[in-house]
Structure 1
Amino acid sequence: MARAMWILVCTFAMHAFAASAKVVNHTFRVGNLTVQPLCEERVVVAVNGQLPGPTIRVNEGDTLVVLVINESPYNLTIHWHGIFQKLSGWADGPSYVTQCPILPGNNYTYRFNITKQEGTLWWHAHVSWLRATVYGALIIHPRAGRSYPFVKPHKEFPLILGEWWNANVVDVENEANLTGAAPNISDAYTINGRPGDLYPCANNNTYKITVTQGKTYMLRIINAALNNELFFKIAGHNLTVVGIDATYTEPYITDVVVVAPGQTTDVLLVANGPTGSYYIAARPYASAPILFDNTTTTAILHYNNSTSVAAPLMPVLPAFNDTPTAHRFYSNLTALRSWTHKVPLDVDEHMFITVGLGLEPCGVNATCAGPSGMRFAASMNNASFRLPTTLSMLQAHFSGVQGIFTDDFPDTPPLVFDYTNANASQLVSTTLKSTRVKRLAYNSTVEMVFQNTAILSVENHPIHLHGFNFFVLAQGFGNYDNATHRSMFNLVNPQLRNTIAVPVGGWAVVRFIANNPGVWLMHCHLDVHLSWGLSTAFVIDNGPTVSSTLPPPPLDLPRC
């Protein structure tokens, strides 16, 4: 009866959108691919023999159907990063959260509608570190009859910033998990799968954009790197930011863009420089005093009427630790006023969430390679998240299966201390693994303060919430003080995001409406921190109507 009711509801919805919407079908064959970005051939996991994988283009209102065939040697899921998945949480993709993995030799069809979103998102693997090579752009154009809230660009280019290891990334992660130490750093960064001219053996392996003098272009910048935020710059040209995370912004002119892993930024580029060639470059914003890949990836912007044989002009990039430049960019963005959603003023749930690194015991009669013979861990409110292994959390929630998770994630940290003072924070340096979630009533408004901690070191953490956008009300440095910092809140046109880069040694305040029943992961998008447990999840109960009730799982949902 329940499934029949949902078929009726979905049929009605499809007829309602039939005038402008369509069904977009794709097939992803995920398998081994031999590539040579640098000096040696490597076998990686990729989609349809491409790196990056295929770009998906849809219009707002369309239904996307993607058959994923797993021909790789690893378990697999695909996450459609930033898609709301309204009443389609079974298609969200994080392993053991909304589904069990697609086993080698098996397949699963993801089906979902794309509504009330326009701009640039992306898709990627959400199991192990496979997203290092399993990723691609997901571009949402306005529906028929609607246009951009700015002059239509002459042409658009997706630019996906990636990260490359001269090793099997699954082995890199497994070795780190076994020893409890930090994983090996990457060997290169890439733009659309290519490292660029500054790396050895990278001749003729540089992505190139050709432009015409006087034309305007849209660059859809996606940070798909595993563990690094990136500065992005084009020599001799300014950029105008018009969108972030598939939401429109007030135009913001800048010569440098910063993108954290998981984030997207749409910029307009006017080809108004002297004819010639210019490097497009990206290198890390490294906010923590730790070892990192300090290399630079490049692409080339070339004017099509240029006869110059000179080398491309190189931009002057910010210093790796240039936090003022990063913060100025992140905090100056605001939502486009004519498209702004109304910020909810009445808050039902207040949460103060500490985020950062710590340690956990190595195990009985064992010694790990982390500090003090322990292993690295990461946590929110001193709870280090552990994924289940026998059933997905959404299946357990839907069917009322006990023992998979507990809904007792704390609203506040267990101890109040000077969060950004390293000496004081040693009081809570250890944490324990658990699968604790926060349960929310349907349509409740939630405000979260993310507070960075200096338990081991301070670092900018990109926190991603599945299933929702949130309003970024304010962000700053030091310890958050409600009495002082609340006056900084932008309640008029705050930026809307699905991933917030919480300032290094600082805080950020976000707010969202829990109007989508299901189970939604919230985690740091630095994959090393996700592996260590810097995540939790929200369980959102059904609403009072059929249209606010999670439907049954699809018949082909993978089983554990």
Structure 2
Amino acid sequence: MAALLFCVLVSSILTEPASCTTRHYTFNIVQKNVTRLCKTKSIITVNGKFPGPRLIAREGDQVLVKVVNNVTNNITLHWHGIRQLRSGWSDGPAYVTQCPIQTGQNYTYNFTITGQRGTLFWHAHISWLRSTLHGPIIILPKKNETYPFRKPYKEVPIIFGEWWNADPEAVISEALQTGGGPNVSDAYTINGRPGPSYNCSSKDTFKLKVKPGKTYLLRLINAAMNDELFFGIANHTLTIVEADAVYVKPFSTSVVVITPGQTTNVLLKTKSHHPNATFIMAAQPYSTGQGTFDNSTVTAFLEYEGKNPSNKNAIFTPTLPQFNATSFVANFTKKFRSLNNPKYTIANVPQKVDKQFFFTVGLGTTPCNQNSTCAGPNGTKFAASVNNVSFALPATALLQAHFSKKSNGIYTTDFPTNPQNPFNYTGTPPNNTLVSNGTRLVSLPFNTSVELVLQDTSILGAESHPLHLHGFNFFIVGEGFGNYDPTNDPLNFNLVDPVERNTVGVPSGGWVAIRFLTDNPGVWFMHCHFDVHTSWGLRMAWIVLDGPLPSQQLPPPPFDLPKC
């Protein structure tokens, strides 16, 4: 611990940190008054910043983050996409790997970044606190190693978020009480700013100043709570080079699709001259569900340095797809391929499968309390489920119960490996929309190769679901529309260079197949990254047992692990 090095993050444009192998951060959770859309409200922040501070490290570095809770809410932080190899105690989801950090308490997250480089992000992982508690994780290559592309002139994080004039905690609390859908956000944000397309917000706009003839690396992060997004920059092409901290085969596009929980690095090559123009950067939602959503557009400005201010300044706007452009999204996602380059990253997709799982994901209902009527379908409450199980979080952390071998009354390991009552998943919905409730997990031996098919259902309307798996990256070996065909669809799986991610959008009215290896002991959450669906129960967890070697076993919990 004496060798801890404090890395200071101060620049608005990414600057390279000092060389260090252990990076030490202190995240103070504090209230901060912030004004957006001409309304001032107190929000929960890290170190008074919204979005929060950048965590910058190199591949191979150890990272220690001391989190001090100075607010009345219980807090946990999740380091989204970090593999957490044998460091599950630092993963962060409340009541899965830890009890929350209570008021006046602190906890030090301790993990090492192994085999990852690119962009990830950190965020709160309890209730809806991540609406304001989030920030970038920037993983630089090891010292003296290079990118698999020309080094950019500058690197700029671009974080998409959602803003509520109300308290988001009150929004989800009311929705869970009434059983109906929560109020949608009042605006989207780019780097915390709504931009001029919203009332009373023209001065609250992110501006990216660029020089002609330069290459910029934009680190895109979708931290929005409940919306997938289209993003584009007027009259500029973007080249995608990395997804979820894994290099991909580069491809160019004018529009990026990014789901909540996903990160995407893109190269922006600026024009060779000084155009007397402002180019709008815009993001707007992709949505296929039947519920309401914030159908608005957030904008920011890209402007060239050194242009003649006396000349007329033209404004160009990007053309983005319609909000329900499912075919565009499908064509876009199929372009992603692992770089599969021995120098940078190899697509070690499991060629054989030890365990196969088929999980349905979607919405359903639960009964309302006796003698009362709820705001969900036909007087019920909205619920969400995996294989018709709406996951109930326990009162103590699952990882602690697993490690201490005291699971009785906390969880069972009988999560269904297939739907208990098969039906036409994308056809006419069944009459019975009720889901079951429970804390049921899947337990797997160490080093098991898993194939998991995630199937969307149309019970309350087909819609896409961004599924995030903690503790692992996975390979997306196949996807399609309609019901998954276990005989014919695997014939078209890509087992050579499939993209490797930690968050995947299950197609609306379709399916996606992923493979991963259980090489990380612990308890690992998997859930929809639409927070409303997670709140309704679209979540489950995997137990990965210890392997035979000491290096394959989960160490004991740290001394300062929070108590429930």
Tell me which interval the TM-score lies in, with the shorter structure as reference length.
Answer: over 0.9
Instruction: State the match for 2:550 in structure 1.
Output: 546
Contact 1:21 1:143 in 2 (8 A): no
Cα distance in 2 for residues equivalent to 1:53 and 1:554: 26
Matched, 1:359 2:360: no
Cα distance in 2 for residues equivalent to 1:341 and 1:322: 30
Deviation at 1:340, TM superposition (A): 2.4
Deviation at 1:26, TM superposition (A): 0.7
Deviation at 1:71, TM superposition (A): 1.0
Decide which moves more: 167-176 or 322-331: 322-331
2:531 to 527, 532, 542: 527
Matched, 1:286 2:290: no
Deviation at 1:428, TM superposition (A): 4.4
Deviation at 1:334, TM superposition (A): 0.5
Instruction: State the match for 1:11 in structure 2.
Output: none
Decide which moves more: 323-332 or 107-116: 323-332
1:334 to 324, 337, 345: 337
CA deviation vs aligned residue, 1:436-485 (integer Å, no higher than 9, x gap): 11001000000000000001110000000000000000111110102221
1:398 to 397, 400, 403: 403
Structure 1 runs (4+) deviating above 4 angstroms are none
Cα distance in 2 for residues equivalent to 1:464 and 1:116: 19
Cα distance in 2 for residues equivalent to 1:203 and 1:214: 29
Deviation at 1:371, TM superposition (A): 1.0
Instruction: State the match for 1:315 in structure 2.
Output: 318
Instruction: State the match for 2:506 in structure 1.
Output: 502
1:475-490 equivalent positions in 2, closer than 5 A: 475-490=479-494
1:351-430 equivalent positions in 2, closer than 5 A: 351-389=357-395, 391-401=396-406, 402-421=408-427, 423=428, 425-430=429-434
The aligned amino acid for 1:76 is I
Cα distance in 2 for residues equivalent to 1:57 and 1:306: 33
- Alignment gaps of 5+ in structure 1: 1-6, 8-19
- Percent identity of paired positions between Structure 1 and Structure 2: 51
Cα distance in 2 for residues equivalent to 1:54 and 1:323: 34
Contact 1:21 1:63 in 2 (8 A): no
Closer, same or farther: CA 427–387 of 1 in aligned 2, 3 Å? same
Contact 2:288 2:464 in 1 (8 A): yes
Contact 1:358 1:377 in 2 (8 A): yes
Matched, 1:61 2:66: no
Deviation at 1:21, TM superposition (A): 5.8
Instruction: State the match for 1:72 in structure 2.
Output: 71
Deviation at 1:365, TM superposition (A): 2.9
1:218-257 equivalent positions in 2, closer than 5 A: 218-257=217-256
Deviation at 1:327, TM superposition (A): 1.3
Deviation at 1:363, TM superposition (A): 2.4
Tell me which protein shows more helix as a share of its residues. Answer: 1
Contact 1:261 1:462 in 2 (8 A): yes
Cα distance in 2 for residues equivalent to 1:477 and 1:172: 33
- SS of 2:394's equivalent in the other structure is coil
Contact 1:300 1:312 in 2 (8 A): no
CA deviation vs aligned residue, 1:271-317 (integer Å, no higher than 9, x gap): 02762320110000012132110111111111112125525311111
Cα distance in 2 for residues equivalent to 1:348 and 1:385: 25
- SS of 2:39's equivalent in the other structure is coil
Cα distance in 1 for residues equivalent to 2:112 and 2:360: 34
Closer, same or farther: CA 428–147 of 1 in aligned 2, 3 Å? farther
Decide which moves more: 40-49 or 359-368: 359-368
Cα distance in 1 for residues equivalent to 2:373 and 2:367: 9
Instruction: State the match for 2:14 in structure 1.
Output: none
The aligned amino acid for 2:324 is N
Contact 2:76 2:125 in 1 (8 A): yes
The TM-score with structure 1 as length reference comes to 0.95
1:349 to 352, 355, 367: 355
Cα distance in 1 for residues equivalent to 2:258 and 2:175: 26
Cα distance in 2 for residues equivalent to 1:541 and 1:428: 36
- SS of 2:208's equivalent in the other structure is strand
Deviation at 1:203, TM superposition (A): 2.4
Matched, 1:82 2:88: no
1:446 to 450, 456, 471: 450
Cα distance in 2 for residues equivalent to 1:273 and 1:504: 41
The TM-score with structure 2 as length reference comes to 0.94
Decide which moves more: 332-341 or 120-129: 332-341
- SS of 1:178's equivalent in the other structure is helix
Instruction: State the match for 2:474 in structure 1.
Output: 470
Contact 2:240 2:265 in 1 (8 A): yes
Deviation at 1:372, TM superposition (A): 1.5
CA deviation vs aligned residue, 1:225-280 (integer Å, no higher than 9, x gap): 00000000000001000000000000011100000000000000000276232011
Closer, same or farther: CA 451–273 of 1 in aligned 2, 3 Å? farther
- Alignment gaps of 5+ in structure 2: 2-18
Matched, 1:191 2:190: yes
Instruction: State the match for 2:7 in structure 1.
Output: none
CA deviation vs aligned residue, 1:357-409 (integer Å, no higher than 9, x gap): 000111233321111111000000000001001x1000000001122111111
Cα distance in 2 for residues equivalent to 1:465 and 1:167: 30
Instruction: State the match for 2:5 in structure 1.
Output: none
- SS of 1:367's equivalent in the other structure is coil
CA deviation vs aligned residue, 1:123-160 (integer Å, no higher than 9, x gap): 00000100000000001000101110111100000000
Cα distance in 2 for residues equivalent to 1:343 and 1:171: 43
Instruction: State the match for 2:47 in structure 1.
Output: 48
Cα distance in 1 for residues equivalent to 2:314 and 2:447: 56
